[in-house]
Amino acid sequence: MANQELACVYAALILQDDEVAITGDKISTILKAAHVDVEPFWPGLFAKALEGVDVKATEKTKI
């Protein structure tokens, strides 16, 4: 996984942990605050992919 993708994953997990809706804008805000540069399409792509996904349940899934 590329660094930009991983940064979006971590941002989404932060939002989920704070029980905040995962949106492209909110992912971008976290990344900007952390001084992480990603291509503009990544945050929206991850937010769209996570629509309707119970991220909290996914965290507890054992591989």
- Which class is domain 3-53? mainly alpha
Where are the chain's structural domains?
Answer: 3-53
What backbone torsions phi and psi does residue 55 show, to the nearest 5 degrees?
-60, -35
**Sequential DSSP letters for the chain:** --HHHHHHHHHHHHHHHTT----HHHHHHHHHHTT----THHHHHHHHHTTT--HHHHHT---
Query: What is the model's pLDDT at position 56?
Result: 76
Task: Give the pLDDT band (50/70/90) at residue 63.
Answer: low
Global pTM value: 0.86
Q: Which tokens is 51 given?
A: 């629509």
Q: What is the pLDDT of residues 32-47, one digit of tens each?
A: 999 999 999 999 999 9
Q: What is the pLDDT of residues 9-24, one digit of tens each?
A: 999 999 999 999 999 9
Task: Give the pLDDT band (50/70/90) at residue 62.
Answer: low
Biggest alpha carbon–alpha carbon distance for the chain: 32
